[in-house]
Amino acid sequence: MAKEIVVSGIRPTGFLHLGNYFGAIRNYVRMQEDYDCYFFVADWHSLTTHPDTKLLREHVLRVVSENIAAGLDPDKACFYVQSAVPEIAELYLYLNMLAYKGELEKTATFKDKVRLNPENVNAGLLTYPVLQTADIIIHRAKYVPVGKDQEQHLEMSRNFAQRFNHRYGELFPEPGAFNYGEALVKVPSLDGAGKMSKSENQYATIYLSDDDDLIRKKLMKAKTDAGPETPGSEMPDYISNLFQIMALVSEASTLEQFRADFDAANIRYGDMKKQLAEDMVQFIRPIREKALAIRKDEAYLKKIMDKGAERARESAVKTIAMAREMIGLHYL
């Protein structure tokens, strides 16, 4: 039986961090076994905010290297760069005729970007959800593994797909959000506020590219206090965050030991952070080293990116041929 189709896009901005790893990449690695997966680097999307395109090459090659180092397998999933598949742009054009200015202006991510950059409200930014829809339905995908922040975009994708189907005939499934039925893993930030993210306090986020000393430094700086005064005290958020991070990278027995120390009001946060730092170093180091090795091997990168583009286009060309046929763009 044919496997169900999954698409997900990865923005080529910044470095990947622990939040990306546990929130997204780890799911990709699991999904690539069970689904027909298309994962791509969303380089066109990144143009909507006018980045310095001289940096694009480095960002794209790094994000590809880091994802493979973290377990994405280009022999299993189809892994490609969006701009290598021009059929996506053609589908975007058709979908733009079905997307209305009013609904696009109401999109939360659009309004955020307008607020942040009022001098750059371009049409690409407005139609970002249309391009995202093209990304997804070009492979007639059923599932999209994304977090809460993408729910509105995905709902718009369902609307655009449905409008195409109503106007021109059934072609596209309506894509739904995908998760493995567990709550999505959020990795808390080290300063006790929010989750690890690219934009906020850099010291509060662990990157897959951080070297051993930087990882240790960041963890030793994490917010703690003098410790609970009486057994059975309630745990403050910033301490609970450290336990949550420890649960991701340390042995269960290590976690239990510190948890028992906390409950007995007998915990030394310095020791806990030292242990967490070492476990984190052991966790990150092989990924970082593998990513660097891949990044340096441009012949290998070219080979997998070419192969990914070829596979993605095979699927995209079929969809576009059907879309053209159904719209009626065939004259003789």
Site for ligand TRP, rule CB under 6 A: 7-9, 11, 42, 45, 132, 135-136, 144, 146, 150
Q: Closer CB to ligand TRP, residue 6 or residue 215?
A: 6
Nearest to ligand TRP of 11, 307 (CB atom): 11
The token pair at 152 is: 């509105």
Q: How far is the CB of 110 from ligand TRP (least distance, A)?
A: 12
**Mutual angle of helices 298-327 and 87-96, in 10-degree steps:** 40
Is 198 a residue of the active site?
yes
- Joined together, the tokens standing for residue 26 give 């780890």
Between CA 312 and CA 33 the distance in angstroms is 18
Query: In this structure, what token pair is assigned to residue 326?
Result: 């159904």
- Of the pair 197, 240, the CB lying nearest ligand TRP is at 197
Angle between helices 56-69 and 298-327 (to 10 degrees): 100
Smaller CB distance to ligand TRP: residue 150 or 205?
Answer: 150
Q: State the minimum distance, in angstroms, from the CB of residue 145 to ligand TRP.
A: 8
Residue number with CB closer to ligand TRP (9 or 188): 9
- The answer to whether 32 and 72 have CB atoms below 8 angstroms apart is yes
DSSP one-letter code for 195: B
Q: Environment class of residue 261 by beta-carbon count within 10 Å: exposed (0-12), middle (13-18) or buried (19+)?
A: middle
d(CA 5, CA 71): 19
Q: Least separation, in Å, of the C-beta of 313 and ligand TRP?
A: 17
Q: Which listed residue (142, 186, 198, 318) is catalytic? A: 198
Three-state SS at 161? helix
| Least distance between ligand TRP and beta carbon 91 (Å) | 12
Please state the closest distance from residue 246 (CB atom) to ligand TRP, in A.
Answer: 27
Q: How far is CA 8 from the centre of its chain?
A: 8
Residue number, nearest CB to ligand TRP: 9
CB of 160 to ligand TRP, least distance (A): 13
Catalytic residue among 195, 274, 307, 318: 195
Q: Phi/psi of residue 245, each to 5°?
A: -70, -40
Q: Between 137 and 276, whose beta carbon lies closer to ligand TRP? A: 137
Pairwise CA distance, residues 74 & 304, whole Å: 7
Q: What is the distance between the terminal CA atoms of the chain, rounded to a whole angstrom? A: 37
Question: What amino acid positions are annotated as catalytic residues?
Answer: 113, 195, 198
